[in-house]
Structure 1
Amino acid sequence: MKILSYISAIIAIVFLNSCEDVVHVDLDTAAPRLVINGSIQWQKGTVGNEQKIRLTTTTGYYDTVIPSISGATVTVTNSDNVTFNFIEEVPNSGIYLCHNFVPEIDKTYVMTVVLNGETYTATETLKSVAPITTIEQKNEGGFSGTDVEIKTFYNDPGNADNFYMFKYKSSINAMPTYDVSEDKFYQGNEFFGYYTNEDIAAGDQLNITIYGISKRYFEYMKKLILISMGSGGPFSTPPATVRGNIVNQTHPDNYALGYFNLSETDIKNYTIQ
């Protein structure tokens, strides 16, 4: 009973002061951990030779600057033993560029990052994607019946199990939203990605990207999306760290965050009607 009374008191205090004061909670900050954003994206209709991998570290919750990592050796090698070098052309940017990458559907690639005497590796296969066929808009969506709903259609090929990721970047929001889908219940049929926004209006722009992804990356992104939505409620167990496919071969306990994935993509720009 003492614990319940204590929690109730805290809630009451926060509620009574919420109109006047900003609550700043002191949080413990863990030691920085390497983050590898190794997302290789091959847009349909392009050569796909220009690619980048970004290295950063984790930082405090209230920090506004994400630290970049320089001085690493970054390579990607395909299953034919052809190696592509990623070079940090702008000092201290943490962005490593490759200008001669060769993307091939269903080919396996190994990313290697050597930093401070430690070697990180990840293996992934480049997945194809079904192209976007049509985009439909409905203006009577959501609980209110006034939200804009967008359906992005594609024809799923029936000869394999396929996994998809959608990214929606609107002109009115700073950050994109993501969704993932698997063809378990619509294999070989037409299906759609779904986006809704109560604030978007006629004339606003929506950039839509569909990615072909692996099953493991689908499961990884699904977990991240659920965490970002806060689906567990205010008193749920704090989520554990979501580990990607990157392995520290030198010291396994000093793992890196992030994921190495390769996707064929299709992109459409849509103007809200």
Structure 2
Amino acid sequence: MKTFIKYIALGLMLFPFSSCEDVIDLEVPTGKIRLVIEASLDWQKGTSGNNQTIKLSKSIPYFETSNNNLVTNASVKVTNIDTNETFVFTNENDGTYTTSSFVPILNNHYRLEINYDGEIYQAEETLIPVVDIKKITQSLEGGFDDELLDVNVFFDDPLETDNYYLVRYFEAGDLFPYLDALSDEFFQGEEMHDFLEKADDEDTSEDPFEPGDTLEISLFGISENYYNYMRLLIEQYFGGGDPFESTAAEIKGNCINKTNPENYAFGYFRVTQVNKTTFTFQ
């Protein structure tokens, strides 16, 4: 009897180890491969805005290691709907399409048209003006941690219209820029303020701001639709891993497939004016 029990105990001990050696092949579902449109026509204040680039690629499965997803066989053009002037973008055969003749006109409406794989994709946006950055300061009190430096950006919102903004912060060496989408819903006609504070992040190898660090700051004037789009993207990005956040969902931009609506594209066509500057921490 004792021997029998010993064999049962031995079998129970060995079973988990032997089962760990079993290889289970799981077929991970992947979504449909779609066109990805990176079409941000940004007119920097103080420049002509003639040089613009649009990038096209294809979506790839999450576990795919190949980088061969560039689209090099499309035709791209942008039309000013108000003046009927068309700007044809040159195919550079590396996934980018460029022009050196774009004419930005504030508050004019523009239409993007892409002909790819026998289908036509279109999107429309208005070139939104942007105010000047009034001042930039640094502090220890304005953020979440009184021991970390933060940067503060101030600008005056126009009183006459509803306005929406995108603020982009980028420090050389960071993997990605920090983005913030703002509305003047509760601050119309008042001074608006945005700030950024960085903490240690092992995943991205980012460190808090220190004296001598230089930050590139861009303030964009954006449409209400693009503001809503960016708010969703930012919320999903920063909500990753939070058990109290809603499940991430597929976010569609404004690019519509006119030939086959079900085969929609990812990405967004925006036309904006941007105020760029740099700030060095003291």
TM-score band, normalised by the shorter chain?
A: 0.7 to 0.9
Deviation, structure 1 residue 28: 3.0
**Which residue number corresponds to residue 230 of structure 2?**
221
Structure 1 residue identity aligned to 2:97: Y
**Which residue number corresponds to residue 246 of structure 1?**
255
4+ residue runs over 6 A deviation: none
**Which residue number corresponds to residue 181 of structure 1?**
182
> Matched residues, percent identical?
38
Deviation, structure 1 residue 148: 1.5
Matched, 1:88 2:97: no
Matched, 1:260 2:256: no
**Which residue number corresponds to residue 118 of structure 1?**
119
8 Å contact 1:172–1:204 — kept in the other structure? no
Instruction: Decide whether aligned partners of structure 1 residues 125 and 26 sit closer, same or farther in structure 2, where only a CA change above 3 A counts.
Output: same
Q: Which has the larger Rg?
A: 2
- Bigger CA drift: 197-206 or 233-242? 233-242
Matched, 1:48 2:49: yes
**Which residue number corresponds to residue 73 of structure 1?**
75
Structure 2 residue identity aligned to 1:185: F
8 Å contact 1:172–1:200 — kept in the other structure? no
What is the number of residues matched between the two proteins?
247
Structure 1 residue identity aligned to 2:234: I
| Whole-Å separation in 1 of the counterparts to 2:189 and 2:245 | 38
| Whole-Å separation in 1 of the counterparts to 2:142 and 2:167 | 19
TM-score by length of 2: 0.83
Per-residue CA deviations over 1:87-134 (Å, capped at 9, x if unaligned) read 122x2x111001100000000000000001100000110000011111
Deviation, structure 1 residue 27: 4.4
Deviation, structure 1 residue 144: 3.5
**Which residue number corresponds to residue 193 of structure 2?**
192
Deviation, structure 1 residue 232: 7.5
**Which residue number corresponds to residue 34 of structure 1?**
35
8 Å contact 1:248–1:255 — kept in the other structure? yes
Deviation, structure 1 residue 66: 6.5
8 Å contact 1:163–1:181 — kept in the other structure? yes
| Whole-Å separation in 2 of the counterparts to 1:28 and 1:141 | 45
| Whole-Å separation in 2 of the counterparts to 1:27 and 1:268 | 45
Deviation, structure 1 residue 236: 5.0
Instruction: Decide whether aligned partners of structure 1 residues 101 and 226 sit closer, same or farther in structure 2, where only a CA change above 3 A counts.
Output: same
Unaligned runs of 5+ in 1: 1-24
8 Å contact 1:56–1:66 — kept in the other structure? no
Instruction: Decide whether aligned partners of structure 1 residues 206 and 46 sit closer, same or farther in structure 2, where only a CA change above 3 A counts.
Output: same
Structure 1 residue identity aligned to 2:227: F
SS of aligned partner of 2:153: strand
| Whole-Å separation in 1 of the counterparts to 2:246 and 2:175 | 29
Deviation, structure 1 residue 161: 0.5
TM-score by length of 1: 0.86
**Which residue number corresponds to residue 158 of structure 1?**
159
SS of aligned partner of 1:166: strand
8 Å contact 1:74–1:112 — kept in the other structure? yes
Structure 1 residue identity aligned to 2:259: T
Deviation, structure 1 residue 171: 2.3
Structure 1 residue identity aligned to 2:160: N
Unaligned runs of 5+ in 2: 1-25, 200-207
8 Å contact 1:111–1:260 — kept in the other structure? yes
